[in-house]
Amino acid sequence: MVDIRPLDTDHRADAVALWHRAGLTRPWNPPEADLDRALGGRSSTVLAGFEGGRLVATAMVGHDGHRGWVYYLAVDPDRRSTGLGRAMMQAAEGWVRDAGIPKLQLMVRSGNAEALGFYGALGFRVEDTAVLSRWIDEA
């Protein structure tokens, strides 16, 4: 049975290590900074799934007042296909619902067929929307 609760700072390094193992990190986007912003925000957190005291899953969740967002959904590679991803997404949806937010969104790299299939099975659909971005500080 997984115990899902907000991540505490004692498990910060464990979360980052899990994100690396799960293949979620990119060199241009320091996960430690993302984690600190989520934990320090008034409208965000990182949900953590523990089994026997060991961190095995995470979901970063937040909202902008209208849309909830999920990032860094990670399941320990040794625990995949056990329902942990589904449980973490249910917890993220509950967090968004409890905040009074009507919609939950996430972004998946277009080449990640496994993730697209996972989210599709949970009822998510591809929107006819282009995501545009620009780095604020190029340094």
| Separation of alpha carbons 46 and 40, rounded Å | 10
Q: The pTM is what?
A: 0.92
| Separation of alpha carbons 117 and 8, rounded Å | 31
The terminus-to-terminus CA distance of the chain in angstroms comes to 44
pLDDT, mean over the chain:
94
The answer, yes or no, to whether residue 139 has pLDDT greater than 60, is no
The answer, yes or no, to whether residue 27 has pLDDT greater than 80, is yes
Q: Structure tokens of 88?
A: 């973490």
Q: Which residue has better confidence, 111 or 59?
A: 59
Class of 3-121 per CATH? Answer: alpha beta
Q: Show me where the domains of the chain are located.
A: 3-121
The answer, yes or no, to whether residue 104 has pLDDT greater than 90, is yes
**pLDDT on residue 110:** 86
Tens-place pLDDT, residues 32-85: 999 999 999 999 999 999 999 999 999 999 999 999 999 999 999 999 889 999
The answer, yes or no, to whether residue 138 has pLDDT greater than 80, is no
**pLDDT on residue 88:** 97
**pLDDT on residue 77:** 94
Count of CB atoms situated within 10 Å of the CB of 127 = 8
**pLDDT on residue 131:** 87
The SS3 assignment for 81 reads coil
Element containing residue 115 per DSSP (H, E)? helix 113-121
